[in-house]
Structure 1
Amino acid sequence: MELVETASEKQHHNKKAIILGHSLGGMVALEYIEHLFLVTPTLSQGFVTTVRNLVSGPRNLVYVADATDLSLRPMWRSFETSIVNVPSPGVFGHEPPIVVTERRNYSAYDVEDLLAAVGFSDGVEPFRKRTVARMNYHEAPMVPLTCINGVGNRTPQQLVYWDGNFDEPPQIVYGEGDDIINL
Structure 2
Amino acid sequence: MDRKKILTRLLCVVGVCTLILSAVAAKKKYKSPILLIPGLGGSQLDEKTKGYRPDTCWTHGRYQKVWYDIQMTPNCAKDLSLRYDKSSNTYRNKTGVKIRVPGFGETNTVEYSVKDTAVFVKKIKRKYMRNLVEHFAKCGYERGVSIRAAPYDWRLAADELDRTGYFKEVKGLIEEMRKANRQRVTIVAHSMGGLVSHYFLTSYSGINKSWKKKHIKAWITLGTPWGGAIKTIQPVLANKKTAPLKCEELSETLIFLIKKSPIIKHYAPKCASWSILVPFGRTFESTAWLLPKPSLFGDKVLVETNSRKYTANDYEKLFDRINYDDGYAMFKGTQQINSDKYPNVPTYCYYGKKVKSTPEKFTYTSIKDSKPKITYGDGDGTVNIESLRACDTQWSGRKKFKSKEFDSVDHQDILSDKAVLKYIAKIVGARGCGSMEQLEQLLEALN
Same fold (TM over 0.5): yes
Q: Does residue 94 of structure 1 match 2:312?
A: no
**Matching residue of 1:26:** 194
Structure possessing the higher relative contact order (Cα contacts under 8 Å, 6 or more residues apart): 1
Question: Which amino acid in the other structure matches residue 23 of structure 1?
Answer: S
In 2, Cα distance between equivalents of 1:69 and 1:113: 24
Deviation at 1:38, TM superposition (A): 1.1
Deviation at 1:104, TM superposition (A): 1.2
Cα distance per residue 1:7-65 (max 9 Å; x no partner): 33322x2x332222233333333334564321113254210121111111594477682
**Matching residue of 2:185:** 17
**Matching residue of 2:221:** 40
Q: Which runs of 5+ in 1 are unaligned?
A: none
Q: Is the 8 A contact 2:225 2:383 kept in 1?
A: no
User: How many residues align structurally?
Assistant: 177
Deviation at 1:131, TM superposition (A): 2.2
Structure 1 stretches of 4+ moved >6 Å: 61-64
**Matching residue of 2:340:** 138
Q: Which moved more, 1:164-173 or 1:68-77?
A: 68-77
**Matching residue of 2:438:** none
Q: Is the 8 A contact 1:112 1:127 kept in 2?
A: no
Question: Which amino acid in the other structure matches residue 87 of structure 1?
Answer: P
Deviation at 1:102, TM superposition (A): 1.7
| 1:55 aligned residue (237, 261, 264) | 237
**Matching residue of 2:307:** 103
Partner-residue secondary structure (3-state), 2:351 = coil
Partner-residue secondary structure (3-state), 2:348 = strand
Partner-residue secondary structure (3-state), 1:149 = strand
Give the alignment's Cα RMSD to 1 decimal.
2.7
Question: Which amino acid in the other structure matches residue 177 of structure 2?
Answer: A
**Matching residue of 2:326:** 122
Cα distance per residue 1:78-102 (max 9 Å; x no partner): 233331111111111212x111212
In 2, Cα distance between equivalents of 1:167 and 1:132: 30
In 1, Cα distance between equivalents of 2:280 and 2:328: 16
Q: Which runs of 5+ in 2 are unaligned?
A: 1-169, 203-211, 240-244, 258-262, 386-447
Question: Normalization by structure 1: what TM-score?
Answer: 0.80
Partner-residue secondary structure (3-state), 2:228 = coil
Question: Which amino acid in the other structure matches residue 45 of structure 1?
Answer: G
In 2, Cα distance between equivalents of 1:24 and 1:55: 21
Identity rate, percent: 28
